[in-house]
Structures are given as structure tokens and as C-alpha cells.
Amino acid sequence: MHEMSIAMAVVGQVEEAARAGGAHAVTSVRLQVGELAGVVPDALAFCFELACAGTVLDGAELITESVAARARCGTCPGTWAVGMPPELCCPACGRATDVELLSGRELEILSVRWEDGPADPRTREPIPEEA
């Protein structure tokens, strides 16, 4: 399951940036994931939660945005949705020798939300019998 290594890499990069920025907690991470990136979103979400445990990202929400795979023909002006499994033959002219993949392989961190400043000390509310 390579989703765990992806999750750990994302957590490592975000944690480094958050600490350098003086954050005490990361609340959300937004990722862009291409249709052809070979990532199963549910598996990535599960692994992300595990990878966040004990870090500044503990409890952070993972938001994934899917990017459809699209290609362009170099022979004719056509572009098309590649789909899954990928169809890399131009539907207009039938050529497959001059095809450029425009999107669908993305796997990048788009944004991170965090809380600045020192961590809030966790204090418990007194129960009525203690007051």
C-alpha cells in the first residue's frame, strides 16, 4: 500500500513547514490528486490519519480534490478526457503517436491551514462538587 508512504511524505512536509511557521496545530491539508496518480482516496485518508498521530497534524482534516485526466493531440487540435483505463488514442483522428497528457498525474499539496502561536494549555473545568 503506497498510500502510507505518500501520507507520511505529506505529513513530513507539512509538519516541517508548520513548525517553521510557528504553528502549534494543523487543522487541514488540501491535496490535488490526479485520476492517473494511482492513489486510492479512501486508503490515503486512512493512512493520513495514522501518519498524523502524535504530530502537529494530529486531528487534521484531509481534503482531496480529484483532477480528471485529459490529453491533447499534436496532429489535430483535439483534447479529450482520458478516463480509466486511459484511452491515449485521439478520438478525432485516431493517432496515438503524438499525444500529450495534459492532466491526471498530479499529486500535490495545495494548501495547509494551521493555528499560530503557543499551544493552549489543556485545562479541565471543575465539576460542581469541587467548587
2 is in an annotated binding site: yes
Question: Dihedral, CA atoms, 54, 15, 110, 112, nearest 10 degrees?
Answer: 70
Residue 28's CB is within 10 A of a number of other CB atoms, namely 14
Say if residue 76 carries a ligand binding annotation: yes
Give the residue from 84, 82, 85 showing the smallest Cα distance to 101: 82
Q: How, if at all, do strands 107-116 and 99-103 pair?
A: unpaired
Cα separation, 81 vs 36, in Å, equals 12
Residue 90 annotated as binding site? yes
Q: Is the peptide bond before 85 cis (omega within 30 degrees of 0)?
A: yes
- 89 among the known binding-site residues? no
Q: Which residues are annotated as a binding site for Ni(2+)?
A: 2
Query: Which segments are annotated as binding site?
Result: 2, 73, 76, 90, 93
Residues contributing to the annotated binding site for Zn(2+)? 73, 76, 90, 93
